[in-house]
A and B are shown apart, each in its own frame.
Chain A
Amino acid sequence: MDHYQYLILMGACLAVTAPLELLGARVYRQPARLARAVLPMAVVFLVWDAFAIAGRVWTYSPRYVTGVRLPFRIPVEELVFFLVIPVCGILTYACVQAMGARWRARRAQRAQRPEPAGRAVRS
């Protein structure tokens, strides 16, 4: 189980942020847009990762990763990280926007009809 620590952590990030989609984020419902936002940055950061691994700037404990390696000795967990974390960030951003929009709409609605029912009946 220890070998899956990193992957489990990434799974937990996806699980924790998943409800944001239902709170109005509408991110997973735009898969093409999501892919075009996440994939290019994943490539850029994987290149950085490859250099850092080659230069031994950082290393991964064999105990807590699966040992599956991509080209340039990049642990598969790193690819998962560079996909999961931006998705979590975008979900958060889209959810904050959606909640803000709802809050503003409610406030505008309340501002429009502060008066008693008398006026509404006429129209």
Chain B
Amino acid sequence: MTGLGYTVPAVAAVAAVCGWELVIARTGLFRRPSYWITIAIVFAFQIPVDGWLTKLSAPVVEYAPGQLTGLRFPWNIPVEDFLFGFALVTSALLLWELQGRRHGDREPKGELR
């Protein structure tokens, strides 16, 4: 593997998840305020958790320097990690929504969705 072995798949993962929702699944997830509030909360908690894993002083996970852009923010978190996290959580939420639809969502209609 040469070049941006993390950056390229991370961008591709975000594109794939967005494409999945917008073209195939069409759950309406991206139109729901509760989804975007969730993403904001997830990112907020990703900073301490991921920050701990990637801190350069005592890293749990280390990245090959040539495989990512090298942009690290905040702290030492590679920016690619946020793409990774977005793709991971959004895809799980998509499946959760699809499962709910299949099982007949028990939640009442007309709520903040």
Give the B-binding residues of A (Cβ under 8 A): 5-6, 9, 13, 16, 30, 33-34, 36-38, 40-41, 44-45, 48, 51-52, 55-61, 64-65, 82, 85-86, 88-90, 92-94, 96-101, 103-105
Contact = CB atoms under 8 A, between A and B. Distances in A.
Nearest to B42: A89
Contact of B33 (A52, A57, A82, A100): A100
Contacts of B53: 6, 9
Interface string B79-113: 00000010011011101100110010001101111
Contact of B103 (A33, A52, A56, A88): A33
Interface string B37-54: 110011001000100110
Contacts of B107: 97-98, 101
B34 to A, nearest CB: 4
A90 B92 CA distance: 7
Contact of B96 (A37, A61, A100, A103): A37
Given A41-B91, A86-B89, A56 B64 contact: yes
Interface of B: 1, 5-6, 9, 13, 33-35, 37-38, 41-42, 45, 49, 52-53, 58-64, 67-68, 85, 88-89, 91-93, 95-96, 99-100, 103, 107-108, 110-113
B62 A59 contact: yes
Contacts of B41: 92, 96
A58 B63 contact: yes
A97 B80 CA distance: 28
Contacts of A104: 110-112
A93 B96 CA distance: 10
B69 to A, nearest CB: 13
A52 B5 contact: yes
Contact of A38 (B42, B85, B92, B103): B92
Given A55-B5, A61-B61, 8 more contacts: A38-B92, A41-B88, A41-B92, A58-B67, A85-B85, A86-B88, A98-B107, A101-B107
10 contacts: A6-B53, A52-B5, A57-B67, A59-B61, A64-B58, A93-B35, A94-B96, A100-B34, A100-B111, A101-B112
